[in-house]
Chain A
Amino acid sequence: MEATFERTIDALDGLFAFVERFAAEQALDESALYAANLAVEELFTNLVRHNAGGTRRIEVDMEVADDRLTIRLKDFDVDPVDLSGEAPPDVSLPLEKRQPGGLGMHLVRTLFDSLSYDYRDRTLSVTAVKNLEDSHV
């Protein structure tokens, strides 16, 4: 199931409606639905933020095959960027040492079995894959 969305935070309602339709079609359980919503939001807002001058719509593709949920977002006409090396936050730190930020990708990496980036021909793709047998949120 595939759709494109305008690159604005205001597109999130449409994104969530898209995820809900997909989840209903695939009979995803509540845990998988929560994880899917979270991944789509975090990955979408990350792409919007890292390509602030972009004008193209962002493509979102979701599928379930062999009991694995795959979510892929593509952004077009993107300057070279490497998002794969972002250090995860240290979530064991006490309040006084914690800083807001960096949690989004940490949540996706924890909830999904893999998170990968691909950049070619000025197109940035990010793909999250979750084994639905271990759905735990």
Chain B
Amino acid sequence: MFEASRASAALITFMGRLDASQVDKARMVLDSVTESCTIDFSELDYISSAGLGILLSTQKRLSESGNGLTISGMNRHIREIFHIAGFEIVFKIV
């Protein structure tokens, strides 16, 4: 199961497993983001290419207005997935 909550305009929390069956939940939250924002991954256990795709689409949209996503709190497995996907040069990771 996956949950996304928006604590403030600048902070979103992802929790659980972001797979292809859950990606619409992430899309609903990310589509409302219009300015730079941090996504807290500290409670996210798993992400697949479906989740990566919606993150990349959001980042491309935000970059057009000079904004962007920062990702925080990734576990080591997701960090490796980001590395393989080349996302370390696409997102600010803290």
Check if B57 is an interface residue, CB within 8 A of chain A. yes
B-side interface residues, number (CB < 8 Å):
24
The prevalent SS among residues of A at the interface is helix
Q: Which residues of B contact A110 (CB under 8 A)?
A: 84
Interface residues of A in 14-50 (CB under 8 A from B): 16, 30-31, 34, 37-38, 41-42, 45
Shortest distance from the beta carbon of A11 to any chain B beta carbon, whole Å = 8
Using Cβ atoms and an 8 Å threshold, which residues of chain B touch A9?
Answer: 20-21
Interface pair A91/B17, CB less than 8 Å apart: no
Contact call A91/B46, Cβ cutoff below 8 A: no
B21, B52, B89: the one contacting A103 at CB < 8 Å is B52
**A41 CA / B50 CA spacing, docked (Å):** 10
Q: With A31-B77, A96-B63 given, can you name 15 additional A-B contacts, CB distance below 8 Å?
A: A9-B20, A16-B19, A41-B19, A91-B85, A94-B90, A95-B89, A98-B56, A98-B60, A100-B57, A103-B53, A103-B85, A106-B84, A110-B84, A111-B84, A137-B81
B48 in the interface, Cβ–Cβ < 8 Å? Answer: yes
- Set A10, A30, A98: member contacting B21, Cβ < 8 A: A10
Interface size class of A (residues with CB under 8 A): 20 to 34
Interface residues of B in 6-55 (CB under 8 A from A): 17, 19-21, 46, 48-50, 52-54
A-B pairs with beta carbons under 8 Å apart, 29 shown? A10-B21, A12-B19, A12-B20, A13-B21, A34-B77, A37-B46, A38-B48, A41-B19, A41-B20, A45-B20, A45-B50, A91-B85, A92-B89, A94-B89, A95-B63, A95-B90, A98-B56, A100-B53, A100-B56, A100-B57, A103-B49, A103-B52, A103-B53, A106-B84, A106-B85, A107-B81, A107-B85, A110-B84, A137-B81
